[in-house]
Amino acid sequence: MNDMDLNEKIRRLILDSNTFLLATHIRPDGDAIGSILAFGLALKKIGKEVTILLPEGIPQNLNNLPGNHTIVKSIKPAEEYDVIACVDASDQERLGELLVGKKIDLQIDHHITNVMFAEINFVDPKAVATCAILAEYLPIWKLQIDDQIATLLLTGILTDSIGFRTSNTSSKALRLAADLMDYGADLPSIYQEALVGRTYQQVNYWGFALQRLQKHGNIAWTTLTLADRKQADYNGNDDADLNTLLSSIAECEVTILFVEQKEKHVKVSWRSKPGIDVSQIAFDFNGGGHFSAAGADIHGELSEVQELVLQKSFASIADQSKSQEIK
Ligand code: AMP
Ligand code: MN
Ligand code: MN
């Protein structure tokens, strides 16, 4: 389908429907929160009834965003909504248990590993963030951007590009961000709140993982356990953005973080320097993501998951380096 047909389909869907249920991925990040709230506010502005589902709430560093009070943690039966739409999720499992097996009418996403699970799939892997897609296309779908929506969209662009420094940062992303500033988004304050500011607990939590940091060749890895979370009094269930810190190790091509989630469930994150693809490794573990930032949720004890993931990662990275030498 070409872009025109796709945009026309989305315009029609919006115009012809009244009640919308919006969802995004579990352990939501800045792009997930920014895009769900921005899409929700934009639909509300034209009189639609919108339910913004975020079962885990909003992480602390994103808690002051416009529309944060309109979220809900539970929903009516999914069939009662005219449209179920989701943002920033590469597969349906990522939407959490409330939407298992439900028909998803529309999805907007930018993951290269997206499995096209919705009726209408607007997926652009070149986009730096789902929020960048919305910044470009909301007006094309006849939805307006105001200062609040611009703030939300810039939050997603800034967080997913880690302040315009991931390798997929494009001049287009910068132009969209500049347009969002013209709509009233305050870049320095979003930068400070969503990206730079840390809580004491968060930094303390990192400390446990940093003590166990290991390196072999050009790969470094470490773990965050449930006991660390408790001892640091960290109340999130994510990596507390430790991945960004790990990826700053200059001599490592790949960093891997293992976060114990609950018994026999480990969240694994990969980060790589340009030239090494970690999305395929994550995909092979039933996860997904981007070329240089990917993740997977894996069943098993921390130590066994760690051993298996390290083995597969070392093998894949060695293969990739070999095929680059041949070229
Ligand atoms: P993270 O390591 O959680 O910051 O995620 C890095 C990228 O991988 C993000 O774009 C995520 O959406 C994606 N990702 C993380 N975990 C999963 C998963 N279990 N399944 C699919 N994609 C994932
Ligand atoms: Mn995301
Ligand atoms: Mn994203």
Q: Are 147 and 185 in contact (CB under 8 A)?
A: yes
Question: Which residues of the chain register pLDDT less than 70?
Answer: 1-2, 4, 326-327
Q: Are residues 115 and 147 in the same domain?
A: yes
What pLDDT was estimated at residue 321? Answer: 84
What pLDDT was estimated at residue 237? Answer: 87
Q: Are residues 16 and 38 in the same domain?
A: yes
- Comparing C-alpha atoms, which of 161, 172, 120 is closest to residue 290? 161
- Cα separation, 238 vs 33, in Å, equals 14
Q: Are residues 101 and 80 in the same domain?
A: yes
Residue 294 in contact with ligand 1 by CB distance below 6 A? yes
- C-alpha 89 – ligand 2 centre gap (Å): 7
> Which residue's alpha carbon is at the smallest distance from atom 15 of ligand 1?
295
Residue 110 in contact with ligand 1 by CB distance below 6 A? no
Residue 96 in contact with ligand 1 by CB distance below 6 A? no
The number of domains in the chain is 2
Residue 61 in contact with ligand 1 by CB distance below 6 A? no
Among 167, 196, 225, which residue terminates a domain? Answer: 196
CB atoms under 10 Å from CB of 50, counted, come to 22
What pLDDT was estimated at residue 245? Answer: 97
CB atoms under 10 Å from CB of 152, counted, come to 32
Query: What CATH number did the domain enclosing 258 receive?
Result: 3.10.310.30
For the chain, percent helix, then strand, then coil, each to nearest 5? 45, 20, 35
Q: Are residues 228 and 115 in the same domain?
A: no
Residue 289 in contact with ligand 1 by CB distance below 6 A? yes
Q: pTM of this prediction?
A: 0.94
Among 165, 196, 227, which residue terminates a domain? Answer: 196
Q: Are residues 186 and 209 in the same domain?
A: no
Q: Are 53 and 71 in contact (CB under 8 A)?
A: yes
Residue 152 in contact with ligand 1 by CB distance below 6 A? no
- C-alpha 296 – ligand 1 centre gap (Å): 6
Q: Are residues 35 and 172 in the same domain?
A: yes
Query: Domain range holding 287?
Result: 200-326
DSSP labels for 55-103?
TT---GGGTTSTTGGGEES--S-GGGSSEEEEES-SSGGGG-GGGTTPP
Q: Are residues 187 and 204 in the same domain?
A: no
What pLDDT was estimated at residue 69? Answer: 95
Q: Are residues 187 and 231 in the same domain?
A: no
Distances (CA, A) of 125 to 115, 120, 238, 263, 303: 12, 16, 24, 33, 33
Q: Which atom of ligand 1 is nearest to the CA of 287?
A: 20
